[in-house]
Amino acid sequence: MEMLRNCKGLIHRLALFLVIAARIAAADSSGKPVVPALFILGDSTVDCGNNNWLWTVAQSKFLPYGRDFDTHEPTGRFTNGRLSIDYLGVNFASAGSGILNATGSIFGQRIPMQTQLAYLKDVKSELSEKFGQEQTNEIFSKSIFYVSVGSNDFINNYLVPGSSYLRDYNRKSFIDLLISGLDEQLNELYSIGARRIVVASLSPLGSVPSQLAKFSTIRLDGSSFLNDMSQQYNTKLFDLLVRLRSSLSEADVIYNSLYNVLMDISGKYSQYGTRKTTPAFLLFDRSLSTFQGFLYNDTACCGLGNFNGSVPCLPNVPVCEDAAQYVFWDEYHPTGSTYKLIADKLWSGNINESYPINVKTLLGL
C-alpha cells in the first residue's frame, strides 16, 4: 500500500510540472501552444514507468529494456526506446491494468482505470489551487485525453486458466461487461472535464508473439480466434464511441484503430521503408529520424521459444542486435520503431486509422 501511495504522490508532484512544460513546449512554429497538455490513461502500451513504484512483477526496469532510450538505461517502458505518447503529458498508465479492477491481480499491485480516474480528479484539484478553477477547466477542455486499455482484461484475466470470468461469462457477455465498464469510465472522464478524448482499440491480440506461441505455431492458424475476439470487442467499442459523440454534447471522441494500424504494419512489414519525419506534436523528438523496413513481423526481438514469445524478455534472455528490424520488442509490446509509426497514424492517419478525424485535425477545431 505504501508503494501505491508513493506512485500516487509521484504522479501528483509531476502533474504541475508536466502541464506547465506541455504548455511551453507543445507549440507550433509561431510559438502558440498546440495543446495545454495530454493526459494518458491505460496499460503497459502507454506506461512510462509508473509501475516502478509498485510491488508487481509487471515491471521492465532492467536491461535490455530501454537500451535504445536516450540514456540507454531502463526506464520502466515496455519497449527498447520510447512509446508513441512519450513525454507528451501527465501519465497515469499502469502495466497490467484493465477496465476491470480485478485485471492484473496475477502480477501484484497495479493502478486500474478506476483508480487512474481518481488520481486524475486529485490532479485537477491541485491544478485548481495553482491556476484557479476557470483556467483549470480550460486546460482540461482543450487538452487531449488518450485512453489505451482492454488488452489485459482478455490476456491476463479472461483467458487465464481458472479465471472466474471465463467460467461465468461467454465471449459476448464478457465483451459487453467490458464495454459497459468503459462506458461508465469515459462518462466519468467527461464529468471530470475532458472534452477531447481519444480511445485506442484493441490491437490484434492473436498476432502478438506470446499468443502465437501459446495457441499456435502456424502464423495464420490457431491464434485467429483471438483476432476475432479483438474485432468483436472493437466493433462494440466503435459503437460506444459513436454514441458518446452524440450523448456527450461538448466532447470530441476519437476512435484510434490500433487493430488496423498494427495489422497493416504486420501485413506489409517489408514495405515500411525509410522513415524521414517525426510528427511535430511529439515533444520528445523534433529531429529527423530514420529506420529501414522491418524484417520480422511476428517474432519478438527479445525472448525465447516459438516466435520468441514463450519466455519473457528478462536479463540474460537472448535479444536481437537491431530492434528496428522487428515489429515486436518482447512477447507483448512493439519496438520503439513501431511505436513511432503508430504515433504517425494517430497524428495524421486516414479514417481507417483514426475515426472520424485524426489528432492533427482535432487540434485545429
Instruction: List the catalytic residues.
Output: 44, 330, 333
Q: Counting Cβ atoms within 10 Å, is residue 166 exposed (0-12), middle (13-18) or buried (19+)?
A: middle
- CA-to-CA distance for 365 and 360, rounded, in angstroms? 9
Nearest to 192 by CA among 237, 147, 150, 222: 147
CB 331 within 8 A of CB 208: yes
Sign of CA dihedral 199, 204, 210, 214: positive
Q: Counting Cβ atoms within 10 Å, is residue 224 exposed (0-12), middle (13-18) or buried (19+)?
A: middle
Nearest to 54 by CA among 10, 101, 23, 22: 10
Reduced DSSP (H G I as helix, E B as strand, rest coil) percent helix, strand, coil of the chain, to 5: 45, 10, 45
- CA-to-CA distance for 339 and 272, rounded, in angstroms? 13
The helix or strand, by DSSP H or E, that contains position 299, with its residue range, turns out to be strand 296-300
Instruction: Give the CA radius of gyration of the chain.
Output: 19
Q: Which residues contact 204 (CB under 8 A, 6 or more apart)?
A: 226, 227, 230, 259, 262, 263, 266
- CA-to-CA distance for 143 and 358, rounded, in angstroms? 15
